[in-house]
Amino acid sequence: MYKKVFKNFLKENIFYSISFFFSAGIVLFYFYVSMDITDFFYPILLTLSVYLIFIGTQWFKYYRFNINLTRGIENEYYNLEAVTPEQKMAEQVIFKMHKNYAEKISKIDYKNSDIKYFISQWIHNMKTPVSVINLIIQREKNNIDEETIKNLDEENYKIKNGLEQVLNIIRLDQFSRDYEPEVVDLVSLIKSIINSRKNQFIYANVFPKIEFIKDKVLVLTDKKWSAFVIDQVVSNSIKYSKKNEKGYVYFNIVQYMDKTHLIIRDEGVGIPKYDLKRVFEPFFTGENGRKFESSTGIGLYMCKKIADNLGHEISIESEVGKGTAIKITYISKVDF
């Protein structure tokens, strides 16, 4: 930062310095030729002293303003400390622009907060009929054929899942307020998610298979957000399973040093190599998105966003026709 300011100062004053010494040299040469002056030491010293005093003053005024300006560019707290009229004018322009933008951003934030509030309220209101439909389905199971019940239950779940996704997108903007780091039993969390997806597993003819043997694995995370990430991965594993074929979703936990890796692997349709790099982009559905109408391109984007906010890692491997494996890496709870 300091070197940059100094270099800029030299660039800005190089022509002045050259002009000053060139003019002084001409004057001294003139007096030397016309008056036969042999003592050059005193006039040169006087000239150099005047130059150093002037350039030192210029540097002092330049340094304070520009070092603070550089800090401002790097988003640090700063006070420009303008000295010259030109610097003061620049300072006024900068702060006026900053004030105008701050006011505009504040208005936009206020407007967005209202919109988010109304959307949140609408989603919560929509959850009531979803719950009522679910109760009706449970009550009328014996009166309606199994296929109709299955279809109604599936579509109702899609509505509920979609509403939850929108709510979580809204909550992401205020993640720090909705984040509670804690020690979570990963085994218990996985089993509860599998149990909540029981109907979807059965309807899709896909079955969960737990490959780890531990009864308890403790990790540092946020239980609610972690559950959302795992649930979304499981949902994709079921959604992209091969139709009319029995399949499995495998759950494995691998611990190494202070890291815990959860690997969720399916036997679904897989993802083409050219789509793999983009699966975490928002609204990217790729080739599979054209085959499966329910694809939104939001799920994996949110998983990546949440994992980053939680300090976890998430990666994906896939092969067309053989399935997909997603690995989520947590920090293990260390016992002292």
Percent of the chain with pLDDT over 90: 24
Q: How many CA atoms lie within 13 A of 261 on its CB side?
A: 12
Of 36-50, 95-109, 285-299, which range is least confident? 36-50
Place of tokens 């054209």: 290
CA gap 331, 255 in Å, rounded: 10
Q: Produce one character per residue of 90-117: b if its CB has 16 or more CB atoms within 10 Å, e if not.
A: ebeeeeeeeeeeeeeeeeeeeeeeeeee
Higher pLDDT, 308 or 102: 308
pLDDT at residue 14 tops 80: no
Higher pLDDT, 285 or 2: 285
Closest of 276, 289, 279, 290 to residue 320, by C-alpha:
276
Could you report the per-residue pLDDT of 193-214, keeping only the tens digit for each? 999 888 888 888 899 999 999 8
SS (H, E, C) the chain: CHHHHHHHHHHHHHHHHHHHHHHHHHHHHHHHHHHCCCCCHHHHHHHHHHHHHHHHHHHHHHHHHHHHHHHHHCCCCCCCCCCCHHHHHHHHHHHHHHHHHHHHHHHHHHHHHHHHHHHHHHHHHHHHHHHHHHHHHHHCCCCCCHHHHHHHHHHHHHHHHHHHHHHHHHHHCCHHHHCCCEEEEHHHHHHHHHHHCHHHHHHHCEEEEECCCCCCCEEEECHHHHHHHHHHHHHHHHHCCCCCCCEEEEEEEEEECCEEEEEEEECCCCCCHHHHCCCCCCCCCHHHHHHCCCCCCCHHHHHHHHHHHHCCEEEEEEECCCEEEEEEEEEECCCC
Could you report the per-residue pLDDT of 250-288, keeping only the tens digit for each? 999 999 888 999 999 999 999 999 889 899 988 787 777
Of 19-28, 167-176, 319-328, which range is least confident? 19-28
User: pLDDT-derived band of residue 313, with 50, 70 and 90 as boundaries?
Assistant: very high
Closest of 161, 236, 241 to residue 204, by C-alpha:
241
CA gap 306, 280 in Å, rounded: 11
Q: ∠ CA(152), CA(158), CA(161), 5° rounding? A: 140
Average pLDDT score, the chain: 78
Q: ∠ CA(241), CA(245), CA(249), 5° rounding? A: 45
Percent of the chain with pLDDT over 70: 70
Closest of 318, 286, 312 to residue 299, by C-alpha:
286
Q: What is the pLDDT of residue 162?
A: 75
The pair of structure tokens assigned to 147 is 């296929």
Closest of 153, 165, 158, 166 to residue 292, by C-alpha:
158
Are the CB atoms for 226 and 189 separated by under 8 Å? yes
Q: What is the pLDDT of residue 52?
A: 78
pLDDT at residue 221 tops 90: yes
pLDDT at residue 129 tops 80: no
Higher pLDDT, 53 or 272: 272
User: pLDDT-derived band of residue 336, with 50, 70 and 90 as boundaries?
Assistant: very low
Q: What is the pLDDT of residue 233?
A: 94
Higher pLDDT, 314 or 131: 314
The pair of structure tokens assigned to 46 is 């006087």
CA gap 253, 260 in Å, rounded: 7
Higher pLDDT, 37 or 219: 219
Place of tokens 């903007």: 173
Of 6-20, 52-66, 154-168, 288-302, which range is least confident? 6-20
pLDDT at residue 39 tops 50: yes
Sort residue 160 into left (φ over 0), alpha (ψ -120 to 50) or beta.
alpha
pLDDT at residue 115 tops 80: no
Q: What is the pLDDT of residue 154?
A: 74
